[in-house]
């Protein structure tokens, strides 16, 4: 039993001492204006870093990423189509392309793809 307690308390004590030492050493640095300001290539920031950005741009970027990832799933299709497994995989390929086209049509009808409204 004492060996199990020693194996538990010694690493816990070392961890606690390192945590306290790190906290003590990091408290010696003073926070000033330069450290608290956002970094823009070595220059003072022109605007506040907390300004909101265009939600329309963000949605368009997310749509682009989704369709970009789906295009990556289409890369293995040419070897599958030319192989003998085409008859087994053709329904899955058609379903995937149908879902992809439905998503594109939905985004187009909703107007998410148009930048200026």
Task: Supply the pLDDT for residue 1.
Answer: 62
105 domain-assigned:
yes
Whole-number Å distance between alpha carbons of 95 and 107: 18
88 domain-assigned:
yes
13 domain-assigned:
no
Confidence category of residue 15, pLDDT binned at 50, 70, 90: very high
28 pLDDT higher than 90: no
CA atoms within 13 A on the CB side of 71: 7
45 domain-assigned:
no
43 domain-assigned:
no
Instruction: Give residue 77's domain range.
Output: 55-110
| pLDDT tens readout for residues 39-96 | 656 665 666 666 677 777 888 888 888 888 888 888 888 887 787 777 777 888 889 8
80 domain-assigned:
yes
22 domain-assigned:
no
33 domain-assigned:
no
Number of structural domains the chain divides into: 1
Task: Supply the pLDDT for residue 78.
Answer: 81
């Amino acid at each position: 039993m004492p060996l199990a307690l020693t194996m538990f308390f010694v690493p816990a004590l070392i961890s606690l001492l390192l945590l306290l030492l790190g906290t003590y050493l990091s408290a010696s640095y003073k926070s000033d204006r330069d450290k608290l300001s956002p970094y823009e290539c070595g220059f003072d920031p022109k605007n506040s870093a907390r300004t909101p950005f265009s939600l329309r741009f963000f949605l368009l970027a997310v749509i682009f990423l989704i369709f970009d990832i789906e295009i990556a799933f289409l890369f293995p299709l040419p070897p599958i189509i030319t192989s003998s497994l085409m008859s087994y995989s053709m329904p899955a390929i058609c379903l995937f392309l149908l879902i992809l086209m439905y998503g594109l049509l939905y985004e187009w009808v909703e107007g998410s793809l148009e930048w200026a409204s």
